[in-house]
Amino acid sequence: MKTLLIKNAYVIDPIQKISGETMDIAVRDGKIVDDVKNPDQVIDATGMLTLPGGIDSHTHICGTKVNFGRYMSPEDMRAGRTSRKGDMHATSGYSVPTTYGNSYRYSRMGYTTLLEGAMAPMEARHTHEEFRYTPLQDCLANTLFDGNWFALEAIRDGDIKRLAGIIAWYLSAAKGFGVKLTNPGGTEAWGFGDDVTCINEPIPHFGITPRDIIVNMIEANEMLNLPHSVHLHCNNLGKPGNYMCTLDTYNAIPDLNDKRQSLYSTHVQFHSYGGSSWNDFCSKAEDIARSVNDKPQITIDTGQVMFGKTTTMTADGPMEFNLYRLYHNKWSNHDVELETGSGIIPVHYRKKNLVNAIMWSIGLELGLLVDSPWQCILATDNPNGAPFVKYPEVMALLMSKNYRDAEFETLHKSTGKRVILPSLDRELTWDEIVTMTRSAQARALGLIEYGKGHLSEGAEADIALYPINVDTTDPARDYERIINGFSTTEYTIKRGEVVCRNGTCTMESNHSTYWVNPHVPPAYDMGTDAAFIDGFNKYYSMRITNYPVGEEYIGRNVCMESEASL
Amino acid sequence: MMKVILEVKERHKPTLPIEAECITPKNFLDPERVFHVWKGNKELDITEVFHVRKDGNAKSADQVEIIIRGDSSNIKRVGEYMDGGRILIEGSIGMHCGNFMSAGTIEIKGDADSWLGREMHGGTILCHGNVEDYAGSGYRGEKKGMTGGRIEIMGNAGDFAAETMAGGEMIIHGNAGDMPGIDIKDGSLTIMGDCSRPCGNMSGGKCWIFGTAYDMLPTFRNEGQTSVDSVPVTRFSGDYISRGLGMVYTANHKYME
């Protein structure tokens, strides 16, 4: 029966349409309530920007791929070490830190919910084990279906209901949250030593196209009434001229849901490239943003690139192979039987590299050109574009034209000819930045009704108090204050308890794993489907009974039930 | 001139390593400075491990000479970030001697443990005995090993000498172990004795082997005979698994059976 009262908080909460009101927030037992009498703890939040806890809707923090990034980058582990202090464990790593490192650094920035962007269902145990040691955030995991053989067979046979049944079985077996497609078809083609060029080319063996995969998956996803939409990493990531493919993909997306988008398109910066080679490489953010502005069924995240060293990791195996041929540095390539693959490469984004400078500009252009912040989420695809600790800098860049111009001056001299960033005068408002860092995520992930991303009565008491006085701070000029303010909260509150105070974390958090359990009619229950079980036992190297992740792996958790309309 | 004599005390457990990255000439310029070394997770005052004697005065690091006596074979990280002056080690020295050094001289009368002159940028290291593995290399995961300076080894070197070397010069008067010069990018490596599998994935730089290169890698192209200081050698270009911009000269070579 713990109670907490936050007094005189300056609140911005776009979901409740609160735009800068001074109010008190009362918390009882981890939930926000109307009022508390004789609170156990009172926080005076005068002059502090008070927001719902941050949500990262696309990050890579837990799982086999992340762990392999740690494993192959001992130099990265040396790059960010902190020693044990009070309740805090020692941490190491900069772009791929240890789980505690991720958790502390996110908490320090006021983030309380994280979505792991890509979990291979077969390797889900590892992800869930790492979730348990990410103590200060609730975690969710998008589950990979881009090369799932049973799903691809169902698509080939044109049986969407069976596809929905397969998705339902895998999601509840892997304790996953959403459907992730990474280079749909492409990673499977890579298994045959091939890749796809865009969405209309059939993939080997199955003869279906990436377009078939994307559209059918979206339909199946909506049949299952899942909280989140299909989460898509488009084909052709990182290739000059790929914007045409991205636009083609967007044009194929049906609008099937009134509450949220039907497609979450992730790290779009990597998919907005013009030109025909690296020599005439340029930004096509304008075309992409126009398409997004026309299509309420699409939400994107920017996938901002920031300069410095980082590690790229994705289930897009062929793309990482192309990067390897570019850099000749170390490379990992991995195949997950019957499901997907992955690749990892360390990179260093440099200001004086023209391609990198253009990438940096494209991310910002997307943030500024997409009209509605509800459709454009701030993310770096951590750690692919940059480690998440750079988020405050991204916020400041979006809020200040001065800062953008000052940074632009330091880039490769030819950047101005390839991008339109210098001509964009828009400076995002406080409300827009708040939307892009929590509210839009909560809506896109369908978490509003689970009490995330807002501060209404009954919501989870995940609250971030930043030492920023909105009335006296002009973001356009005081961008340093924005960066410092968003880097370290005064208080981060998770489920009603202060878990981080001025950058020092405590371990007392009862975090949860969120997962979905879609209920399907018995005819589509793959757990009793003879053909599925036969195929499974024939082709997988493990038995179907050993496959599902047991409850013992996930600790405290919230099961999100959904009723399928099949 | 300043002369600092550090004599290792009789230790109860001499095999326990001591980390002594504070031992560099420039640190002794500050008379107020307190010196700490580490034994495991315990921080000790330097006088618990060494008898310290300091004579004379110095204005710059170049005027400081440090002499290490006694059983120093488990004292690690001596001369880390050294930027001038001289360190003389009368016995053997532990791992990571001369890490990141940029100038000055280290002379080792005995043997040196692994990672001698790791990622050094300049200066000179002379070892009269043998060295263990990874002399002049980059540490785990690092892309560049030594980028400048000179390491001369009068005895034998262990495996992976000059791994990821990116500049500077290394001379091994005895034999080198397996895979010397692996991933070498620039600089020069001279081995007077034998070695095996030299310069795998070489992308630049030069390597001379005046003994026998055993298990010569098949990804090098034989460019014919030439001579170096009137010694007849075979010239190889490679490694073609990378870009093939390096050169290896061997007096004798043998391919794997």
> What confidence tens digit (pLDDT) does each residue in B181-232 have?
999 999 999 999 999 999 999 999 999 999 999 999 999 999 999 999 999 9
Q: Is residue A36, in this structure, part of any structural domain at all?
A: yes
pLDDT for position A291? 97
Are residues A76 and B141, on separate chains, in Cβ contact within 8 Å?
yes
Query: In this structure, what CATH number is given to the domain that contains residue A478?
Result: 2.30.40.10
Which of A78, A83, A94 best probes binding to B when mutated, by most B CB atoms within 10 angstroms? A78
pLDDT at B41 over 80: yes
pLDDT tens per residue across span A121-180: 999 999 999 999 999 999 999 999 999 999 999 999 999 999 999 999 999 999 999 999
Q: Report pLDDT for A555.
A: 87
Using a CB–CB cut-off of 8 Å, the residues of A that contact B are 72-76, 78, 328-329
- B28 confidence band (pLDDT: 50, 70, 90): very high
Q: Which pLDDT tens digit goes with each residue over A24-51? A: 999 999 999 999 999 999 999 999 999 9
**Does the ipTM exceed 0.95?**
no
Q: What are A273's two structure tokens?
A: 């490239």
Q: Which of A75, A76, A328 sits opposite B242 (nearest CB)?
A: A328
| Record: contact B141-A329, CB cut-off 8 A | no
- The predicted structure's pLDDT at residue B102: 97
Position A354 in a domain: no
Token pair listed for A408: 């632009």
- Average pLDDT on A458-472 reads 96
Domain enclosing residue A37, as ranges: 3-52+453-505
Chain B residues in contact with A73 (beta carbon < 8 A): 141
Q: Kindly state whether residue A257 falls inside one of the protein's structural domains.
A: no
The pLDDT of residue A551 is 87
- Tens of pLDDT along A385-440? 999 999 999 999 999 999 999 999 999 999 999 999 999 999 999 999 999 999 99
Are B139 and A328 within 8 A, CB to CB?
no
Q: Which of A218, A212, A246 is nearest to A231 (CA)?
A: A218
What mean pLDDT, rounded, does chain A reach? 95
Instruction: For residue range A224-271, list pLDDT tens digits in order.
Output: 999 999 999 999 999 999 999 999 999 999 999 999 999 999 999 999
How far is the CA of B31 from the CAs of B2, B26, B28, in angstroms?
12, 11, 7
Phi, psi (deg, nearest 5) at residue A62: -140, 145
Predicted local confidence at residue A1, as pLDDT: 62
CB B229, CB B251: distance < 8 Å: no
Please identify which residue in the block is written with the tokens 């024939």.
Answer: A538
pTM score: 0.92
pLDDT given for residue A508 in this prediction: 67
d(CA A461, CA A29): 9
Average pLDDT of the segment spanning A336-364: 95
CB contact under 8 A, B141 and A73: yes
Mean pLDDT value across chain B: 95
In angstroms, rounded to a whole number, what is the distance separating the alpha carbons of residues A529 and B40?
Answer: 59
What is the rounded distance in angstroms from the CA atom of residue A337 to the CA atom of residue A225?
28
| Sign of the dihedral defined by the CA atoms of residues A433, A436, A441, A443, in that order | positive
- Within a 10 A sphere around the Cβ of B203, how many other Cβ atoms? 20
**Tell me, what's the pLDDT at B219?**
95
Interstrand relation of A340-349 and A298-301 (parallel, antiparallel or unpaired): unpaired
Structural domain contains residue A24:
yes
User: Domain total for chain A?
Assistant: 1
Confidence label for A195 from pLDDT (cuts 50, 70 and 90): confident
Q: Which of A261-265, A322-326, B150-154, B192-196 has the lowest mean pLDDT?
A: A322-326
| A contacts of B242 (beta carbons < 8 Å) | 328
The share of chain A scoring above pLDDT 90, in percent, equals 94
- Asked if the structure places residue A279 within a domain, the reply is no
**For A390, phi and psi rounded to 5 degrees?**
-85, -5
- The number of residues in chain A equals 566
**A75 and B203 in contact by Cβ < 8 A?**
no
> What are the distances in angstroms from CA B187 to CA B163, B184, B242?
11, 8, 17
Nearest to A74 among B140, B203, B242 (CB): B140
Asked if B139 has any chain A CB less than 8 Å from its own CB, the reply is yes
Chain A CB contacts of B141 below 8 Å: 72-76, 78
pLDDT greater than 90 at residue A194:
no
Q: What is the pLDDT of residue A469?
A: 95
